[in-house]
Amino acid sequence: MKKNKKFLDFLLGIALGAVSGFAFILAFPPFEIWPLIFIGWVPVLIAQQRIMPAKFSSLPTAVAIGIWLEGYMGPIFNPTGTYMIYLPLVAAMFALIFDLGKRKFNQRTGYRWFVLEGTLSWGAIEMVRLFIPIAGTWGFIAYPLYRQVWFIQPVSIFGIIGQGMLIMSVNYILALGIIN
């Protein structure tokens, strides 16, 4: 019975990671359902922190990143047949490794640093991506808001990375409200 529950939790965690990946795809052009950017990461955080078996807790993040980048960049790079077709897989592998231990850290600290750590981590990753020529600013989390001029005014003060951190703060705050 316990084995079945773990397996079902594993499948549900993967499914929630996929939901986040598809939510982010739908937030970006050509679909432009921009409000999804504010809630799209919540399912992966719930899967990572509460549903997935602990040793696989970084897998939903990898699934979400892989699906999102394949859906967003795949149509651009797949026809070229270049090494760029592997970018979603490489990013998913980095996410898998990068998120190892996050669940344990959050549980040990009573989720005290959950929002701050998640927001700063996302901002740091986007900042590092600026210096990687093949990645650049492609897929920055703030891009779905490009037509929402009324909503992107913080960009003039904090830049696109600051706007992305605001978006991820909303996701992490909502997830923390559900987790606790």
- pTM equals 0.93
Task: State the pLDDT at residue 56.
Answer: 95
Q: How many alpha carbons lie under 13 Å from residue 155 in its C-beta half-sphere?
A: 15
Task: State the pLDDT at residue 141.
Answer: 92
DSSP-derived 3-state class of residue 37: helix
Task: State the pLDDT at residue 1.
Answer: 66
| pLDDT tens track, the chain, 180 positions | 688 888 999 999 999 999 999 999 999 999 999 999 999 999 999 999 999 999 999 999 999 999 999 998 888 777 877 777 888 899 999 999 999 999 999 999 999 999 999 999 999 999 988 887 777 777 899 999 988 888 878 778 888 899 999 999 999 999 999 998
> Cα–Cα distance between 125 and 61 in angstroms, integer?
14
Task: State the pLDDT at residue 2.
Answer: 80
Domain boundaries, the chain: 2-179
Task: State the pLDDT at residue 37.
Answer: 97
> Around Cβ 58, how many Cβ atoms within 10 Å?
20
Residues 6+ apart with CB under 8 A from 83: none
Angle at 114 between CA 58 and CA 153, to 5 degrees: 105
